[in-house]
Amino acid sequence: MKLILSKFDLSKKIITIYSIPNQNLSDEIQENLRKIYDEFKDIRIEERFYDYESYLSYIFQIKSAWYPETNETLLLTLYLEEHENTHLFKSLLKKCVSKLKNISNLSKILYLNTPHADPEAFRIFGKVIQLLTNCFFDANELHATYNLGLAEILILGNKGGGKTSIVDYLIHHRPISQSAPTLTPQIYNLIYENIDFRVLDVCCDSHIKRVFEEHPLEPGKLPQAIVYVVDSSLKSEKLGSSINDFKNWLLYLFRLYGKSVFETIPILVLFNKTDLNPTFSEKEHRKWYSFDKAVLKLKYGEVSALTGKGLDENFSWLIKELKITQKY
């Protein structure tokens, strides 16, 4: 984890004012900060959050101490090396920015190494360091609070049905545009309701063969829960193929691990994209996507990866049902 206060100069360079830990920033981090500044420049919003992968940035402006008619643009960034759940830290960063903006003549710390520097600038810089240090340790404490347990979930479903979009929405609490379908197994870290999830997103049985057959199912190992995403906009032949895929997936898992294992593992079937199907009937879909060859902890839910509808309700059920491997 890193906390970085930076500014952007006219030569398009990232100027690091202070970072915790106080180390040189990698070229990759600096390039990603530049991308955030470029987005700010394009839309010209004075103050807002930016979520970018594992970066949570709050961009804001302050009046220049020497030229009050002009503004300086600053960026407070929290970089999370392990988790992408940046939304958990938004209130903490916003509170820190508010305190920074309340420091009189804050912009003087931007010119400590120039002829504009004066003794007051170093006093102000000391206040900034203290605020950033407190924010950094508060973020670490919050991160530890949410890192209470580990649960590993397998997410399956139709290609293009919205599996990755659902995970992205749960991570960022907003829709994230998808440029391409999932072609290789993807593993996501997701902190949700104090549970640290590792989500395995696969699109076909070759994915699961590559990953699962090397890691036999044991108590506390993959999968502790299964989420199956149905593209509810499908019709005719594609609908029939989707139903067959669902049943074939369950048969495959039963053969791989034994049917009795799935008497305790919760399975959540999510009907996504219902807004694209005016004739959608949850009753009919429940009937089509049913499986009577095992006693299952099975729940159906209607969701939207675009608006987030139904996601909290259904994943809250999943948390109550799955077995958590406690970290010691």
**For residue 106, what is the DSSP state?**
G
Q: Characterize 29-66 residue by residue with b for buried, 16 or more Cβ atoms within 10 angstroms of its Cβ, and e for exposed.
A: beebbeebbeebeeeeeeeeebbbebbbbbbbbbebbe
Whether the ω angle into residue 68 lies within 30 degrees of 0, i.e. cis, is: no
- Where are any strands of DSSP class E within 141-224? 149-157, 186-192, 195-201
Residue 230 contacts residue 242 (beta carbons within 8 Å):
yes
Show the tokens assigned to 282: 């949850």
The partner residues of 269 in beta bridges, in order of sequence, read 228, 300
- What is the per-residue pLDDT for 248? 84
- What is the per-residue pLDDT for 136? 94
Domains in the chain (CATH in brackets) are 2-145 (3.30.450), 149-326 (3.40.50.300)
For the chain, what percentages of helix, strand and coil (3-state, to nearest 5) are there? 40, 25, 35
Would you say the C-alpha torsion 81, 87, 88, 93 has a positive or negative sign? positive
First to last CA, the chain: 21
- What is the per-residue pLDDT for 191? 62
DSSP, collapsed to helix, strand or coil, labels residue 96 as helix
Show the tokens assigned to 81: 């090396």
What residues in the chain have per-residue pLDDT under 70? 9-12, 40-46, 82-85, 87, 114-117, 144-151, 178-198, 200-222, 293-295, 323-328
DSSP, collapsed to helix, strand or coil, labels residue 9 as coil
Q: What does pTM read for this prediction?
A: 0.57
Show the tokens assigned to 136: 């950094």
Q: Residue 292's closest CA among 262, 256, 257?
A: 262
